[in-house]
Structure 1
Amino acid sequence: MSALTWKWRASIARKATLKRAGDVHPLTDEEFARACDEINLNEQFAVAVSGGRDSMALAQLAAAFVKSRGLKATAYTVDHGLRAQSAAEARQVAEWCNLIGLRHRTLNWVGKKPTSGVQEAARNARYFLLARAAEEDGIGAILTGHSADDVAETYLMRRERSNSAASLAAMRSEISIAAAAGEPIRMLRPLLSVSRDELTATVKARGQGFIDDPSNEDASYERVRIRQRLREKGAKETTSLVADATEARGSAEKHRQFELNLFKHTGGCFYAWGGASINARLFAEARRDFANAMFRRLLRAVSGEDHPPAMDATMRAAADILRGKTATLSGAIAAPKGDKIWVYREPAALLGRAGVAPILAQNLSDAKPIFWDRRFIIAARDRSENMRVLPLGAKNKGIEKLLFYAPRMALQSVPGIFDETTLIAGPAPLSPWVNGINIRALAQERFSGEIIRFSEV
């Protein structure tokens, strides 16, 4: 999204939020239609509906929009199973959605729940379930009810942890998500310029019921504490934070583009086996703060980890590499060799080490692709009950040519396809299919940040 569009959104958000001090108006169908046109919504879509006031306002607006445009929409409700009332609430949401003409599906997060980091785990599960359902239903876009207040809350939460532009950047109005190895789905946030008070006014004006989740008042959660603080400070504080977050988004996008360009400038190359390389001399000559930021992004891309290493650790690793030393951090290894710096997955992170169990074998069939180590998508044309995916480890003799002249150790963390104990396929640099098996590395996709993949729950 252009800087001009972000400035426009910031202006709208500022005006909308200031209404809280006086006259707050419900959102009209025409205003929502303009927001949908802004994000090019002209296809069948889904609406994420929890039953709260924001999402029920979105459901009402979406129902009117599809009727006016001759489109189809489906409402998805994720039942996280974290509260005794959640199943009954999901049934109530289904009834409301059916009454306004939206097809409804309840998506259940089943299995054991974590005892800590519950909100982050629930978010990851929710996005996985939403993306998988959309792919199953042949739907290319999902709308969420995030508002200007969510932008302000997220910005303040992140500001208390970091002051980097990337950390502080406002939510984007569009991202691409995928359920593990699934196809990318557009996730759209058409209400980022609308205040929560306006959305509350919208549901009340339409006589629409909603459910207030009691966990939204549980001060043991960080977001709830932030929300309470903002409520006490009033609309002007929220407006200011939205403007700051929007400015940070523009800055973060500039930094991202610069890092992508710097990777190319330093002779960066991604390989079918999942690693990457950059030119050592060009990396040494690059401005250090930009080079370190690009290097940090590259480490995350190649390691398969959810988060990049800390910047101070990245800076120390970069300094070691420029002195000719090999560096290991956050599940990745960076090794200077000749005129290149090679970056690849740390074998011990897959094969096992103190405190880290080895990755388990995964069965491969033609039923669905495998999202392996968050670094590869592996698919089979033909069913075989005996095919398994494992890291090659030290048993990789005879296939060194897959890596050309990369460090031999890098081969240990490459996926191999075994039929019983016989290796039948590995990543191929020239042909996408080998022995009916396709192995696609995701390092370049992860480096660009254009698709966010959520692991299966």
Structure 2
Amino acid sequence: MNSPRIVPPGSAPGDAAPLRAGEFARLMAPAGPFEPAPHLAVAVSGGPDSLALSLLAASWARRRKGRVTALTVEHGLRAESAAEARQAGRWLKTHGISHRILPWRGEKPASGVQAAAREARLRHLADWCVRHRVLHLLTAHQMEDQAATVLLRLSAGSGGDGLAAMPLVQDLRAPDGAGIRLIRPLLAIPEARLKATLGNRGQAWIDDPSNRDRSYARTRLTVALDALGGEGMSVARLARAAHRAGSDRAALDSACGELLSRAAAPHPAGFVTLDWACWRAAPEAVSLRALIRLLTAVGGRPFGPRLERVERLSESLRAAYPARAVTLGGCRIIPRRGALLICREPGAAEAALTLKPGERRLWDNRYRVHVPRRAEFRGACMLGRLGSDGIAALRRTMADGGRALETIPAPARPALPAFRDLDGLLAVPHLRYARSPGGDGCEAQYIGAGNRTGGVFGPVA
């Protein structure tokens, strides 16, 4: 087992000012309000950024009679990762900070390692927070991280949203559908000041060699920041550009929410009816944003479709009322009685999952589903899309001959969540169908999709 590469506190840059408690409190204020005696979770790797955040957050929480739990996801991707997690825990213990190690078990990907590790890390962190009823998760993304994100988004051809990079506050969804708040209070702070904070407290940190691995695009761009700084594109300027883009995004979000409150009618079953004329009359930037938000919410994806594809669809819809349906981002956009019906594309819905009695899960990234603890069913209980076979079965078995189906537009019916066992349909909550015994109490609550604040009508942070 390899030992961690420990950097002594004397290595901190001498020309950088430590981050003090008062300044950190001002950084946290826009993420509030916080409950009395807040319990914060802090993602910590043992590197300088996350260690400094842990110490600052612990002091902040104690002043408010709260506490911090530091969380390390032990990914097992490097030989020294387990030793690094334990070392971080020993350091944190000397500061009176509780620490938990969350192992990432199972097979690791052969490619796309950074993206897969990032996704697994957030999944483990969010799951721990939900299980322990912790609402706030802090991560130590700082100014250089923000600047590199701006460059990554530029290289991908992102629009204004992408250039706003990482927001201060972002909603995360746990596997069971419950939400927590991801907070990044250090986005305006350079790494040198965080190292100086540790140096001021006599705290060493761990050097992660993967941060210098140029096989990763983010690492190459971080290295390129030094060269770009000589041309006037400094880290601070890129971070300020992200902040300005974020302010523009907030203004557009407000206008978009106002438009959607007038033009869109979301249904608890997971589809939306959009007043085409009202939507079309809005400024182009606002109507485009509203369309992206609807496709994200209905399509079951963390983010919307690629911008250029939504732009083409928006241009077409603004030019004339559509003559036929189109698909995009896992959604069907269907002309219907002068409006637009936006519903889930059945073939794009998540595969069926198996549920145990009493279990709560997230299905299709849109529905929080639940099977009662005392549910009775034969064999396994499966949750998946209703499909045409399920629709036909309902017409045969429902007491009203399936007339309840008419409460849902025909194109939206096949993607409805349906519970099944070996005897067939068990429950279709949105059609108020439950086979007795067994199906009573089965729930499928539509909560939309996306990992950003506000759902369909609220602001996107």
Regarding TM over 0.5, the answer is yes
Given residue 44 of structure 1, which amino acid in structure 2 is its aligned partner? Answer: H
Tell me how far apart the structure 2 counterparts of residues 62 and 202 of structure 1 sit (CA, whole Å).
13
1:283-294 correspondence to structure 2 within 5 Å: 283-294=279-290
1:176-234 per-residue CA deviation (whole Å, 9 max, x = no partner) reads 22212243222222222221100011112212121111110011111111111113444
Tell me how far apart the structure 1 counterparts of residues 104 and 418 of structure 2 sit (CA, whole Å).
31
Q: For the structure 1 residues 401 and 245, does the alpha-carbon distance in structure 2 shift closer, same or farther, using more than 3 Å as the test?
A: farther
| Secondary structure, aligned partner of 2:430 | coil
1:240-291 per-residue CA deviation (whole Å, 9 max, x = no partner) reads 111111000011122222222222332x111122111112333344444432
1:147-189 per-residue CA deviation (whole Å, 9 max, x = no partner) reads 1222222112112222511111142222222212243222222
Report if aligned partners of 1:79, 1:108 keep a CA contact under 8 Å in 2.
yes
Report if aligned partners of 2:358, 2:372 keep a CA contact under 8 Å in 1.
no
Please state how far the C-alpha of 1:68 moved relative to its aligned partner: 3.9
Please state how far the C-alpha of 1:377 moved relative to its aligned partner: 0.8
TM-score (norm 2): 0.83
Report if aligned partners of 2:170, 2:453 keep a CA contact under 8 Å in 1.
no
1:117-128 correspondence to structure 2 within 5 Å: 117-128=112-123
1:344-394 per-residue CA deviation (whole Å, 9 max, x = no partner) reads 1111224xxxxxxxx543222344312111121111223446422121110
Aligned to 1:244: 241
Tell me how far apart the structure 1 counterparts of residues 49 and 451 of structure 2 sit (CA, whole Å).
33
Q: 1:29 aligns with which of 12, 21, 27?
A: 21
1:155-194 correspondence to structure 2 within 5 Å: 155-194=150-189
Larger CA deviation: 315-324 vs 199-208: 315-324
Aligned to 2:201: 206
Report if aligned partners of 1:135, 1:182 keep a CA contact under 8 Å in 2.
no
Report if aligned partners of 2:158, 2:307 keep a CA contact under 8 Å in 1.
no
Report if aligned partners of 2:140, 2:184 keep a CA contact under 8 Å in 1.
yes
Given residue 250 of structure 1, which amino acid in structure 2 is its aligned partner? Answer: S
Tell me how far apart the structure 1 counterparts of residues 203 and 455 of structure 2 sit (CA, whole Å).
35
| Secondary structure, aligned partner of 2:387 | coil
1:51-450 correspondence to structure 2 within 5 Å: 51-234=46-229, 237-266=234-263, 268-318=264-314, 319=316, 322-350=321-349, 359-384=350-375, 386-395=380-389, 396-397=391-392, 398=395, 404=406, 406-428=408-430, 435-443=440-448, 446=450, 449-450=453-454
Structure 2 unaligned blocks of 5 or more = 1-11, 457-461
Report if aligned partners of 1:259, 1:293 keep a CA contact under 8 Å in 2.
yes
Tell me how far apart the structure 1 counterparts of residues 455 and 84 of structure 2 sit (CA, whole Å).
31
Q: For the structure 1 residues 37 and 167, does the alpha-carbon distance in structure 2 shift closer, same or farther, using more than 3 Å as the test?
A: closer
Given residue 307 of structure 1, which amino acid in structure 2 is its aligned partner? Answer: F
Larger CA deviation: 206-215 vs 402-411: 402-411
Q: Over aligned residue pairs, what C-alpha RMSD do you find?
A: 2.9
| Secondary structure, aligned partner of 2:454 | coil
Please state how far the C-alpha of 1:105 moved relative to its aligned partner: 0.5
Given residue 107 of structure 1, which amino acid in structure 2 is its aligned partner? Answer: L
Q: For the structure 1 residues 280 and 233, does the alpha-carbon distance in structure 2 shift closer, same or farther, using more than 3 Å as the test?
A: closer
Q: For the structure 1 residues 304 and 371, does the alpha-carbon distance in structure 2 shift closer, same or farther, using more than 3 Å as the test?
A: same
Report if aligned partners of 2:370, 2:442 keep a CA contact under 8 Å in 1.
yes
Given residue 240 of structure 2, which amino acid in structure 1 is its aligned partner? Answer: A
Task: State the number of aligned residues.
Answer: 423
1:275-318 per-residue CA deviation (whole Å, 9 max, x = no partner) reads 11112333344444432332232122111123322333334445
Please state how far the C-alpha of 1:22 moved relative to its aligned partner: 9.0
Q: For the structure 1 residues 165 and 22, does the alpha-carbon distance in structure 2 shift closer, same or farther, using more than 3 Å as the test?
A: farther
TM-score (norm 1): 0.84
Larger CA deviation: 69-78 vs 244-253: 69-78
Given residue 370 of structure 2, which amino acid in structure 1 is its aligned partner? Answer: A
Report if aligned partners of 2:170, 2:183 keep a CA contact under 8 Å in 1.
yes
Tell me how far apart the structure 1 counterparts of residues 351 and 126 of structure 2 sit (CA, whole Å).
25
Larger CA deviation: 65-74 vs 150-159: 65-74
Given residue 261 of structure 1, which amino acid in structure 2 is its aligned partner? Answer: E
Q: For the structure 1 residues 38 and 313, does the alpha-carbon distance in structure 2 shift closer, same or farther, using more than 3 Å as the test?
A: closer
Please state how far the C-alpha of 1:430 moved relative to its aligned partner: 8.2
| Secondary structure, aligned partner of 1:77 | strand
Report if aligned partners of 1:378, 1:438 keep a CA contact under 8 Å in 2.
yes
Larger CA deviation: 94-103 vs 421-430: 421-430
Please state how far the C-alpha of 1:440 moved relative to its aligned partner: 0.8
| Secondary structure, aligned partner of 2:101 | strand
| Secondary structure, aligned partner of 1:190 | coil
Tell me how far apart the structure 2 counterparts of residues 394 and 431 of structure 1 sit (CA, whole Å).
16
Q: For the structure 1 residues 299 and 37, does the alpha-carbon distance in structure 2 shift closer, same or farther, using more than 3 Å as the test?
A: closer
Please state how far the C-alpha of 1:55 moved relative to its aligned partner: 0.8
Aligned to 1:356: none
Given residue 273 of structure 1, which amino acid in structure 2 is its aligned partner? Answer: A
Tell me how far apart the structure 2 counterparts of residues 203 and 124 of structure 1 sit (CA, whole Å).
28
Tell me how far apart the structure 1 counterparts of residues 298 and 177 of structure 2 sit (CA, whole Å).
20
Please state how far the C-alpha of 1:446 moved relative to its aligned partner: 4.2
Q: For the structure 1 residues 289 and 56, does the alpha-carbon distance in structure 2 shift closer, same or farther, using more than 3 Å as the test?
A: closer
Please state how far the C-alpha of 1:24 moved relative to its aligned partner: 1.3
| Secondary structure, aligned partner of 1:394 | helix
Given residue 183 of structure 2, which amino acid in structure 1 is its aligned partner? Answer: L
| Secondary structure, aligned partner of 2:134 | coil
Given residue 256 of structure 2, which amino acid in structure 1 is its aligned partner? Answer: E
Report if aligned partners of 1:132, 1:182 keep a CA contact under 8 Å in 2.
no
Given residue 435 of structure 1, which amino acid in structure 2 is its aligned partner? Answer: D
| Secondary structure, aligned partner of 1:211 | strand
Report if aligned partners of 1:273, 1:414 keep a CA contact under 8 Å in 2.
yes
Q: For the structure 1 residues 292 and 429, does the alpha-carbon distance in structure 2 shift closer, same or farther, using more than 3 Å as the test?
A: farther
Structure 1 runs of 4+ aligned residues shifted over 6 Å read 429-432
